[in-house]
Structure 1
Amino acid sequence: MSHDGVGPRAVARPVAFLTAGVLVLPALAGCSEQDEAGRPSAGQDIAAAERDRVADGGTLHWAVDAVPETLNTFQADADATTSRVAGAVLPALYRLDVNGRPQRNPDYLESAEVVEREPRQVVLYKLDQQAVWSDGREIGAADFAAQWRALSGKDTAYWTARNAGYDRIEKIERGANDLEVRVTFKKPYADWQSLFTPLYPKDVTGTPDTFNDSARRGLKVTAGPFTVDEVDRASGDVTLKRNPRWWGRPAKLSELVLRAVPRDGRAAALAAGRLDLAEIDASQARRITSAGREGKAAQGAPLTHGPGAALTPGRALRSWAIAHGSDEEAAEEEITARKKRARAALKYAGQQSSLRGFTVRRSLEPSFTQLALNGSEGPLADERVRRAVARALDREELAEVVLKPLGLPAEPVGSHLALAGQHAYADGSGALGGQDTEEAQALLSDAGWVAGGPVKKEKKSKKAAGAERSEGADGTGDDGAYIVGGTDDKPGGRRGAGPGDGGAVLAPAPLAEVQRTALLVQAAELDGRRVAGKDGDGGKPAEKAEKTEKSEKAEKNLAQDGAKRLGPGAPGAYAPKGTAAPGRAAAGPLARNGKPLSLRFVLPSGPGSQPLRAVGERIARMLDEVGIRTQISKVADDSYFKDHIASGEYDLALYSWPASAFPATDARPIYAKPVPAADGSLNVEQNFTRVGTDQVDQLFDQAVAELDPEESRALVRKADARIWAAAGSIPLYQRPQLTAARTNLANAGAFGFQTPFYEDMGFLKKS
């Protein structure tokens, strides 16, 4: 998942929630004014068009992250591309609408309902009369039964990643005729609509051998608008072709090619004509938007970005002077550099010209980014400290950091278990409370963390000491750590520039102190005297530095002169001595039992994770204001989740979860209370915060067994309130969804919640 964030791959709902959404269903359930779930924060953006406006034929090249290791979505190594293929070629009995709510798919089901509740829950499926597999065989009870046996968990020879829901089935039988399937449950199951999507043919699920192997490299038998034609690992293409046996609306496209292209190379691939549709990051979105604006400007107008855009007239003149100067060696180097810049600018300009044929479509993903607090050990094992962290956060401000620059609604997420628009959504954040600095400090004080407490000095290795001072060259490991706030007797506010963050300064000391320090240094230099920093820092005034009348006068003059030149309130203006600093000053460092309150904050270091780092750095500043210091450690993206989140090697971290239409089933392992395993380890399932309660588990169990939809949703909302109160994770914002699409491509783009209608995608007819 991850662009704005790095998140664990969810296997719980492989198709319906990771492939994103689609066109419009003929009839969709709306959100009433009284509906507590409300409406989605952002609508989909897919350039919707009627089918008669879409040309028949053509090939759509759609970017994916990788060629999938398997085409079986129920295996552990399935990924988002696996889900995308399944959505185009296999039956989905239910699909999500624009509000993220499940709707019966009429292409496969005439009806599906609970026909008995006592003594056992029975669901009767009535299949569409034309529903057949690509080999001509009718879809029927045998396919349902084979999938149930494979996923029930009873036969360990099947390599399955999950069995939730299937383990509650008692038997599957043929109904009154071949088009009816009767499913009997041994335990009530509220989320029965989540089952059999996707539905595989019995050719795949019938035996462990076929389940484990036959669907890894291809699917011979399918039942969707497309079929799998070829999986070419060498070229990185998965080619899907129009299904001649498809009984629904015929696919408009002749071919759909899923092409593996790294995210950082997608702008170039779009410009080269290798892609028609691609999810992109914010920087690529800005580039495509700029290309469109440049296309509307006068021909020959200079580029305002890219290679050479930063070459000011002064720099250009200097470059020309060196290239034509008397220093032959310098001239040769400058001429070579000028040629290199010219080639790069020419290439970039050509790409920009090609990118004018694309537009950026924007929505919000059906997933959210959260701040995870590891409650297994250390200060965060205390619920009061976790709650203090949460109360220190301004979640609206954090949402704005990521979403406002993209023109998307910057609304904080109010639930762990659903997103706005989905049935189970309700804002449960009131169970914890909003941003409140005083309340956060009171919670910390109650937990024994006090300002000014004695701190025991600990000997540090050279490596650890270096990690506090600056960030490693590669931004990874311990050498990539730096302190936000202060430790021991050292005030915070300094750090090294990290990769991708533009050298932004984190957690600065109060502004008045910075201004005064600068004035002291300058005044002392005027007096011919150096002001040495404590411990040889050189960036802070010595505690016992003496001022002469000359330095005091110089300080006053500098302050007045600076104020005149920059004007009142100008960034970086020097304030006269004694001027109060704007805003709140950071709280002093807290300590308990001789140890400072410092949390390790792990963030990914990759170029696509810059927005996540910006959020992390803003969080660190907020925590510093209540006295919580953070040690930010930037680690490589490929080890971020595996070596830190999953293994519990962190205090604070940011990652994302997909939102499910069936939270009673899918969210339980994410928030279940960890239990000791037989070998003495802790079984956390997917609860990487290690925070859980018996009450939350009980509410999930009740919700999944409650067949009344309203009662089940009420129980889910109660569970969410308990999760908020435990403060193991703090939902922040819904992730942005940015998609580059050809301007003539219809019914595809930023799908939001809705499941894609692959058969309606295509290129507009020329008019």
Structure 2
Amino acid sequence: MSHDGVGLRAVLRSVAFLTASALAVPALAACSAEDEAGKPVAGQDIAPASRDEIADGGTLRWAVDAVPETLNTFQADADSATSRVAGAVLPSMYRLDPNGRPQANSDYLESAKIVEREPKQVVLYKLNQQAVWSDGREIGAADFAAQWRALSGRDTAYWTARNAGYDRIESVERGKNDLEVRVTFSRPYADWKSLFSPLYPKDVMGTPDTFNDGARKKLNVTAGPFALKAVDRKNAQVTLTRNPRWWGRPTKLAEIDLVAVPRDQRAAALAAGRLDLAEIDPSQAERITLAARDGGSKPLTGPGVSPRTRKAIAEHPEQQVALRDFVVRKSLEPIYTQLALNGAQGPLADERVRRAVARALDRKELAQAVLSPLGLPAVPVGSHLALSGQQAYADNSGALGGQDTEEARALLADAGWVPGGPVTEQKEENAAGAKGKKADSDSGDGPGDDGEYIVGEDNKPAEADREKKDPKDQTTQHQQADDQAGQHMDGKQYANHPGGAPGAYAPKGTAAPAGTAAPAGTAAPGGAAAGALAAKDGKPLTLRFVLPSGPGAEALRTVADRIARMLERIGVRAELSKVSDDSYFKDHIASGQYDLALYSWPASAFPATDARPIFAKPVPAADGSLSVEQNYTRVGTDQVDQLFDQAIAELDEDEARSLVRKADARIWAAAGSIPLYQRPQLTAARTSLANTGAFGFQTPVYEDMGFLKKPPRPAASPSN
């Protein structure tokens, strides 16, 4: 989930082979309703200031990755820039607070609550009587009804990317007056607060033509603190200006320019005065920090400065001087990076092997490798379904267990993988690697900006699934998500820290050694040397670890190197297979051509709705294949599905949270995906900017952003 919205909507499904033993999870005490979700691991960093301290006027130039292809957030090619525009110019009934929890937006709502539970759930919205569209019309039931009809999935002429929740609505009607909207559900829906955020006018949602095409390039009618002034594709800029009909607190800024700047060019754009605010990578953050410390003029001496930063400063000394006008604001994004284990084939189809891999990982060490050098708290993520601070969060990792090398070896032995066992020459490829070999050979590992791969944030269509269906076909939510998920999303860049051992792992085809020297005092089961490659039926235990090779993936490769070394200690060889960015999700993750992979998931304030497709058990498709939603690990169980189904229909919030936490514990036990760390968020901001920066969970409050007032000049000294 981007911080510009209140929900994640993207889906794709898969297969699992789990024994009943994984479901007998004794450690469910963490799922009790008494548990506190805690606070965010890192608070937001936005330079808070009162509105009295902020000047009226000014233009904020804010970097985006690209000018959005569509301004309709409910379409498959919507991206983070789409969400940013929507957050500034359209109504949202709920926004996220700093803890990632939905709160009613008083600019649009006086109240919203469930007024009937039997025989059907009814939610009554009471709207702010001042809320109007930019054409002067009141926001009302007609807009709610049009959005429901467009997103319900009943009319296939609407090319929608998601309909979660809207497909449970039976009717939308005017209440006792024009300011009331009654929404009746055909089935109970616990996550009803996720709906109508953003809310588009009936002018957009009223017909398939206006939905499909009318809102892609322009929004004639809006109702936010800002209005859309222009989308300038030639100059790669979207301009937002004050909405003259805005009834809330007046915007401090006169204008916001969303400027498309590639991430590796943002330091130069900041220094040249083209940007005031931009998400940046650690190398750029280091340059800005040094500029502030040294005034942009002192020579770089001593250890602690990365070679990459030294080179950039040496080549562009004039930029370094200009960068002293900026500060790095940092927090943690509402996104976590995970290790995915493909349970559909090969050794990882055995749950015991997956659990062994998981128990070999020191998640604290992996988090430290990425976060500690940035001065951010290195706390491993304890849930698949929420992050610390969110209501559904509880650390359920105990259902799987922590790092334990001996237990990991024992699990492998139980699965028949013997340390130091005999290995015979094998001609066939690794089960997950055959189809990916050509892609591997075509891609190089060149230097690039640090980053991660996010699934489900920008909702861009996946080519692998688009080929199988007509993009105009409006199907169920789960099927529709085949057009959204599964690719490099916004290429956000983070964490470049040394820690790999390139070349430390034998290439494909190398015979496994009979034994490997063990650390002093370490013994392996059966008397084999610790670290000896495990083998079964003459085959070594080798896993293909697929990674992107291009710009933006250095952090992933650093983490993968460390994971490979951890696995080596239990007799598992991880072959690091670098593939092109373009094929990473399309040809490998989404299609299941991998054993191990790293990518990131946005956390949602509504996990019962948004996370279910990520962990849903695969079901056979009509053509005999498995229908894969967003469960790229192909690991799922009936019990997890049932817990999600119960949670989404449970209107008691405490009980719904308890069900979500139970589902998470069972997801941990299945060991299909292992959450590692929350991603860092680094933002360069002009030192005079207030109420903006690294937002963390919170939805930006656009009307409060601005530049601090200049201090008055000191009075002239009287002459003698």
Asked if TM exceeds 0.5, the reply is: yes
Partner of 1:696: 640
Q: Could you tell me how far apart the structure 1 residues matched to 2:443 and 2:423 are? A: 31
Other-structure match for 1:721: 665
Is the 8 Å Cα contact of residues 700 and 716 (structure 1) preserved in structure 2?
Answer: yes
CA separation in 2, counterparts of 1:705 and 1:63? 40
**1:147-205 alpha-carbon deviations (Å, 9 max, x no partner):** 00000000111000111100110101100000000000010100000000000000000
Letter in structure 1 aligned against 2:6: A
Structure 1 equivalent of residue 330 of structure 2: 362
Per the alignment, do residues 435 and 309 of structure 1 end up closer, same or farther by CA in structure 2, a change over 3 Å counting? closer
Letter of the structure 1 residue corresponding to residue 243 of structure 2: N
List alignment gaps of at least 5 residues for structure 2. 10-32, 447-495, 524-528, 712-720
Q: Deviations over 1:532-578 (max 9, x none)?
A: xxx999xx9xx9xxxxxxxxxxxxxxxxxxxxxxxxxxxxxxxxxx9
Shift in alpha-carbon separation, 1:141–1:305, aligned structure 2, 3 A: farther
Counterpart of 1:445?
Answer: 413
One of 397, 408, 411 as aligned partner of 2:379: 411
CA shift, 1:302, in A, is 2.3
Equivalent-residue separation in structure 2 for 1:347 and 1:625 (angstroms): 43
Q: Give the Cα separation in 2 of the matches to 1:268 and 1:646.
A: 36
Matched, 1:628 2:618: no
Q: Once the two structures are superposed, what CA deviation does each residue of 1:342-375 show, in whole Å capped at 9, x if it has no partner?
A: 9x97761110000000000010000100000011
1:249 matched to which residue of 2?
A: 249
Quick one: which of 655, 658, 665 aligns to 2:609? 665
- 2:563 pairs with 1:619: yes
Q: Determine the C-alpha separation between the residues in 1 that align with 2:518 and 2:246.
A: 75
What amino acid maps onto 2:642 in structure 1?
Answer: Q
Q: Is 1:758–2:675 an aligned residue pair? A: no
Give the corresponding residue for 1:235. 235
2:543 corresponds in structure 1 to 599
Equivalent residue, structure 2, for 1:608? 552
Contact kept, 8 Å, 1:279 with 1:740, in 2: the verdict is yes
Q: In the aligned structure 2, how far is the partner of 1:705 from the partner of 1:240?
A: 39
**How far apart are the structure 1 equivalents of 2:96 and 2:361?**
33
Per-residue deviation, 1:640: 1.3
CA contact (8 A) 2:373 2:497 kept: no
Q: Deviations over 1:380-430 (max 9, x none)?
A: 111100000000000000100000000001000000000000000000101
CA distance in 1, matches of 2:237, 2:595: 40
**Equivalent residues in 2 for 1:199-210, closer than 5 Å:** 199-210=199-210
Matching residue of 1:132: 132
Could you tell me which residue of structure 1 aligns to residue 622 of structure 2? 678
Take 1:282 and 1:502, find their aligned partners in 2: how far apart are those partners? Answer: 12
Root-mean-square deviation (CA, aligned residues, Å) is: 3.0
Aligned-pair CA distance for 1:17:
5.1
Separation in 1, partners of 2:631, 2:307: 47
Map of 1:475 onto structure 2: 445
Who is 2:472 aligned against? none
Residue matched to 2:426: 458
The separation in 2 between residues aligned to 1:70 and 1:667, in whole angstroms, is 25
Letter in 1 for 2:445: G
Distance 2:287 2:704 in 1: 29
Counterparts of residues 464-613 of structure 1 (less than 5 Å) = 474-475=444-445, 504-506=500-502, 581=520, 586-613=530-557
SS at match of 1:608: coil
Q: How far, CA to CA, are the matches of 1:586 and 1:199 in structure 2?
A: 59
Change (3 A) 1:346 1:703: closer
Letter in 2 for 1:142: A
Which residue type is aligned with residue 728 of structure 1?
G
Contact 1:17 1:366 in 2 (8 A): no
CA distance in 1, matches of 2:404, 2:568: 14
1:372 alignment partner in structure 2: 340
Q: Within 1, Cα distance between the matches of 2:574 and 2:391?
A: 37
> TM-score, length-normalised on structure 1?
0.77
Q: Contact (CA 8 Å) 2:356, 2:408: kept in 1 or not?
A: yes
Aligned-pair distance for 1:452? 2.6
Q: Could you tell me how far apart the structure 2 residues matched to 1:144 and 1:310 are?
A: 55
The verdict on how the C-alpha distance between 1:582 and 1:614 changes in structure 2, with shifts beyond 3 A counting, is farther
Task: Name the SS of the counterpart of 1:241 in structure 2.
Answer: strand
Distance (Å, rounded) in 2 between the aligned partners of 1:90 and 1:414: 34
Identity %: 73
Match of 1:572 in 2: none
**In the alignment, is the contact (CA less than 8 A) between 1:14 and 1:79 conserved in 2?**
no
Distance across 2 between alignment mates of 1:184 and 1:90:
24
The CA deviation string for residues 486-523 of structure 1, in whole angstroms up to 9 with x for no partner, is xxxxxxxxxxxxxx9879525859xxxxxxxxxxxxxx
Amino acid aligned to 2:548:
P
Q: Deviations over 1:660-702 (max 9, x none)?
A: 0000000000000011100112111111111000000000000
Q: What's the secondary structure of 1:167's corresponding residue?
A: helix
Q: Report the CA distance shift for 1:719/1:472 in structure 2 as closer, same or farther (over 3 A).
A: same
State the match for 1:110 in structure 2.
Answer: 110
Which of 690, 695, 716 is 1:746 aligned to? 690
Does the CA-based 8 Å contact 2:110-2:127 persist in structure 1? yes
Q: What is the aligned partner in structure 2 of residue 80 from structure 1?
A: 80
Question: Are the equivalent residues in 2 in contact too, given 1:669–1:685 (CA < 8 A)?
Answer: yes
- Give the direction of change, closer, same or farther, for the CA distance of 1:283–1:346 in structure 2 (3 Å limit): closer
TM-score (norm 2): 0.82
CA contact (8 A) 2:385 2:607 kept: yes
User: C-alpha separation between the residues in 1 aligned to 2:684 and 2:675?
Assistant: 27
Specify the code of the residue in structure 1 equivalent to 2:197: T
Assess if the C-alpha contact under 8 Å between 2:4 and 2:699 holds in 1: no
Of residues 358, 368, 376, the one that matches 1:400 is: 368
Partner of 1:51: 51
Give me the whole-angstrom Cα distance separating, in 2, the residues matched to 1:718 and 1:744.
Answer: 46
Partner of 2:292: 292
Q: Deviations over 1:12-55 (max 9, x none)?
A: x9822589xxxxxxxxxxxxx97520110000000000001111
Letter in 2 for 1:112: A
1:737 aligned to 2:681? yes
| Greater relative CO (CA pairs within 8 A, separation 6+) | 2
> What residue in structure 1 maps to residue 317 of structure 2?
349
1:390 aligns with 2:386: no
Would the alpha carbon gap of residues 100 and 173 (structure 1) be closer, same or farther in structure 2, given more than 3 Å must change? same
Provide the rounded CA distance (Å) in 2 between the counterparts of 1:70 and 1:131: 25
The SS at the match of 2:553 is: helix
Query: Secondary structure at 1:612's aligned position in 2?
Result: helix
Give the total of aligned pairs.
Answer: 620
Q: 1:600 touches 1:632 (CA, 8 Å); kept in 2?
A: yes
CA contact (8 A) 2:443 2:579 kept: no
1:6 equivalent in structure 2: none
Q: Which amino acid aligns with 2:290?
A: S
Q: CA deviation at 1:607?
A: 3.1
Provide the residue aligned with 1:172 in structure 2: 172
Contact 1:18–1:83 (CA under 8 A) maintained in structure 2: no
- Aligned AA for 1:146? A
> Is the CA contact 2:8–2:604 (under 8 Å) kept in the aligned structure 1?
no
Contact 1:373/1:728, CA 8 A, preserved across alignment = yes
Partner amino acid, structure 2, of 1:689:
T
Q: How does 1:242-281 map to 2 (within 5 A)?
A: 242-281=242-281
Report what 2:474 is aligned to: none
Shift of 1:458: 2.5
Distance change >3 Å, CA 460–CA 164, structure 1 → 2: closer
Q: How far has the Cα of 1:474 moved from its partner?
A: 1.6
Mapped partners of 2:619, 2:519: distance in 1: 52
Q: State the 4+ residue runs in structure 1 displaced beyond 6 angstroms.
A: 308-311, 470-473, 500-503, 582-585
- 2:455 counterpart residue number: none
Query: 1:586–1:624: 8 Å Cα contact kept in structure 2?
Result: no
User: Whole-Å Cα distance in 2 between the matches of residues 435 and 471 of structure 1?
Assistant: 34
Q: Distance in 1 between matches of 2:368 and 2:581?
A: 24
1:593 deviates by: 1.4
1:507·1:620 contact (CA, 8 Å) conserved in 2?
no
Q: 1:580 Cα shift?
A: 7.3
